[in-house]
Chain A
């Protein structure tokens, strides 16, 4: 599905703006997630865009067309153009990834993978990993609470804070691993390791149009990569 969109962007280092319009904004509008997409992808891209801009604008050595001088730092035309290129690329990537996230649910992706023949073990790992992320973060929240309960938020020496955090962080990690141990046993018990196909209760419909779109995107990427390797770079 949307898997390949991001791949396209990664490969399409050339002419990224065009790609952005076609592959990110258009599907986003179709999926009616455009405003959310713009907001989230802008947020995601912001720190790195700013960083990239600063580093490239101010620190590119050896530029010829000097635009502004601020003491030891020089803003050069080359630096600016590199910065622009990087920023645009970053925006597009962020946009593609956000689109992917907004338009897909992990459950659907995993079911779709399994329907296409991925083994149940792999899809389990992926799905479980996504589920683990918020759980681990919740545990981190508990770390914060425990710290606050100990009144270590703003007062407390570094050593006390260190002890406070490790006292909670240690058991939570080993607790997570211990629970993993039980889960492994339970999975075995429920026939998880049985070779052969595991029944799928449902899977997202894979329409012909989606399959066609996928082929188009894959071929476009392949062509672009080949061209790039052959040394061709876009004139704009």
Chain B
């Protein structure tokens, strides 16, 4: 379970807070969506949850941040990454570029943790299997397409077997097949007890897999609830988020049917 209570965050050198009094509860075993328009603070929330803010980025954090009931604000990054990992948005930036093959790239995380070689290999194999990229194992990560790189980056995160997952735009560069694999992997993680957060601007992603949706705008959480409710509320669309395509189509057809 990941939880933020009354969290406000300000970037270093900024004059105003980016997050205002944000409270989020992410129970284990669920996939929660964080939906917001561009510039609403999505990535900031992810970094706070993932521990990068303020540890690596600097800035000031007020409020409580806890994982499984423990206050983690004093934990160093390398201890935190066993409890929660964060997937950033850009696939190319996420790759370490020191791995000659995809296999070594995925193994990078577990290897950093100092596990035994057999354990590292087991975790790598499983992650590759889960995302069906075993055939890419001997390829050079730098030469893959954007979608393939995103899958490799995700595999690298999964291989770390952290207890919880935070993902910032995890499926942006993926084609339909890749999306299915990635979402299945997320569902499997949640089924294993992880608290999963997916931050995105795309409401149809949220509609498909999340059991609960939180709306973020201007650094504040407007509401949180089941996707059916939140996405049906017209106030949501006023915030600058695009409706899911199906919903919009249904609405338009409904309007036409009503003779408007």
Does a CB–CB distance below 8 Å link A and B in the complex? Answer: yes
Cβ-defined contact, B56 with A184, below 8 A: yes
Residues of A within 8 A of B112 (CB): 120, 190-192, 194, 198-199
Residues of B within 8 A of A186 (CB): 88, 93-96, 153
State the Cβ distance, A199 to closest chain B Cβ, in Å: 4
Query: Does B154 count as interface, using CB distance less than 8 angstroms?
Result: no
Query: Does A231 count as interface, using CB distance less than 8 angstroms?
Result: no
The one of B98, B116, B160 in contact with A199, judged by C-beta atoms closer than 8 angstroms, is: B116
Query: Does B117 count as interface, using CB distance less than 8 angstroms?
Result: yes
State the Cβ distance, B107 to closest chain A Cβ, in Å: 6
Among residues of B, the one whose C-beta sits closest to the C-beta of A180 is: B93
Query: Does A149 count as interface, using CB distance less than 8 angstroms?
Result: no
Among residues of B, the one whose C-beta sits closest to the C-beta of A126 is: B98
Knowing A186-B93, A188-B77, A190-B109, say if A197 contacts B98 (CB, 8 Å).
no
Query: Does B142 count as interface, using CB distance less than 8 angstroms?
Result: yes
Cβ-defined contact, B56 with A185, below 8 A: yes
Chain A 193-204, CB-CB to B under 8 Å as 1, else 0, gives 111111111000
Cβ-defined contact, B96 with A182, below 8 A: no
Within 8 A of B (CB), among A114-142: 120, 123-124, 127-128, 131-132, 135
Count of A-B residue pairs with CB < 8 Å: 103
Among residues of A, the one whose C-beta sits closest to the C-beta of B78 is: A194
State the Cβ distance, A44 to closest chain B Cβ, in Å: 25
A193 to B116, CA, bound (A): 18
Cβ-defined contact, B111 with A135, below 8 A: no
Cβ-defined contact, A193 with B107, below 8 A: no
Query: Does A189 count as interface, using CB distance less than 8 angstroms?
Result: yes
Query: Does B81 count as interface, using CB distance less than 8 angstroms?
Result: yes
Residues of B within 8 A of A189 (CB): 50, 52, 77, 81, 85-86, 88
A200 to B111, CA, bound (A): 7
Knowing A194-B114, A197-B114, say if A183 contacts B93 (CB, 8 Å).
yes
Cβ-defined contact, B113 with A191, below 8 A: yes
Cβ-defined contact, B114 with A185, below 8 A: no
The interface residues of chain A, by DSSP majority, are classed as helix
Query: Does B9 count as interface, using CB distance less than 8 angstroms?
Result: no
Query: Does A107 count as interface, using CB distance less than 8 angstroms?
Result: yes
Residues of A within 8 A of B55 (CB): 188
The one of A128, A132, A179, A191 in contact with B78, judged by C-beta atoms closer than 8 angstroms, is: A191
State the Cβ distance, B92 to closest chain A Cβ, in Å: 7
Cβ-defined contact, A107 with B142, below 8 A: no
Query: Does B120 count as interface, using CB distance less than 8 angstroms?
Result: yes
Query: Does B97 count as interface, using CB distance less than 8 angstroms?
Result: yes
A106 to B43, CA, bound (A): 36
Cβ-defined contact, A187 with B52, below 8 A: no
Cβ-defined contact, B116 with A188, below 8 A: no
Query: Does B90 count as interface, using CB distance less than 8 angstroms?
Result: yes
A188 to B94, CA, bound (A): 11
Query: Does B156 count as interface, using CB distance less than 8 angstroms?
Result: yes
Cβ-defined contact, B109 with A196, below 8 A: no
Among residues of B, the one whose C-beta sits closest to the C-beta of A195 is: B78
